[in-house]
Amino acid sequence: MSTPLRAVVTGGGGFLGSRIVSILVHEGWRVSSFSRHAYPELEAQGVRCKLGDLADATAVREALRESDVVFHVASKVALWGDYADFQAANVMGTRNVLEACRRNGIGKLVYTSTPSVVFDARDLRQANEDTPFPKKFLAHYPRTKAEAERLVLAANGPDLATVALRPHSIWGPGDNQLFPRLAKMQLSGMLRLVGSGDNLIDTTFVDNAARAHVEAAERLEFGGAAAGKAYFISQGDPRPLRIMVNDLLRAGGLPPVQKSIPFSLAYFAGCCFEAAYRLFGVAAEPPLTRYAALLWARDHYFDISAARRDLGYNPAIGIEEGMRRFQASLCADRDVAVAAGGARI
């Protein structure tokens, strides 16, 4: 590029955001990150780190100045919590990003959504972009992400081209969400399959998810094929949940999960935990929720042909290669921890 494009990545220090940042830097973009915390590792790459909260409209507007493209990755991701917190981060934060794009004359916005916006407690098998939002959402996270996605796609126009990507179950080096959760539960002896674990699920290796975002930005333009649309992103290689979970555990040097509980019992336990936590005002996430039980028991895999066609998306790193890279990263982390006199997963 003769004149480097300028990008802001909200949540640039996070799991997915940091991979998007790395690709952009490698390809010659001028990159800024907007996060609540400082990330020296980003600054070491030449990234301008701007601090602030998505709910602060002024901070968002200032952070997005002098940009060509915004990758809005940051959000509140959890299975439990106060609705107000999800609303502030996911909906109000997205409103602030959209307004900042308009005021700063930014031409492109790539929004990170989630397949959870179409999950209605039933199996999702080869679900495509025609799958509607459910009439009732099962948790605050998908409800607020769906509202934010609507806002983003409705904002598409001549001055701001928008697109929403829905990557499913992201994993890989740097994972600070999925694998740590599995590892903690397995180490505590609490990890269980819900049912047989033979339900098919899609996942996404983090580098593939990041590359999809960059490709979307490169192809996005008002009136183009991708403008104003949402796309599912995954490996395109659904596998039984128990296989994927045990492969991730094995990569971390942990034993496979062998115990299971019936779905009906898991769902009932989720009801009881939720009721007890609400009754006693416990802020922490319950060991199990109804939503989590459903996610662990249902098929959820997607037709990614639209992303292949319109975005040029190709999950170039397969699951086996991704597992090798993930295991190597975990081994490197353990070596560093041991050298520092400690130990961690």
Instruction: Indicate which residues carry an active-site annotation.
Output: 141
What is the C-alpha to C-alpha distance for residues 148 and 151, in angstroms, rounded to an integer? Answer: 5
Secondary element (H or E) of residue 72: strand 69-72
CA distances to 77, 143, 300 from 135, in Å: 21, 10, 18
CB-based contact 254:246 (threshold 8 Å): no
The angle at the Cα of 276, spanning 274 to 278, to the nearest 5 degrees, equals 70
Give the HSE-up count for residue 179: Cα atoms under 13 Å, Cβ half-sphere. Answer: 28
CB-based contact 189:344 (threshold 8 Å): no
Give the HSE-up count for residue 163: Cα atoms under 13 Å, Cβ half-sphere. Answer: 30
CB-based contact 171:203 (threshold 8 Å): yes
Secondary element (H or E) of residue 6: strand 6-10
Q: Write the CB contacts of 221 (distance below 8 Å, at least 6 apart in sequence).
A: 108, 161, 227
What is the C-alpha to C-alpha distance for residues 332 and 330, in angstroms, rounded to an integer? Answer: 5
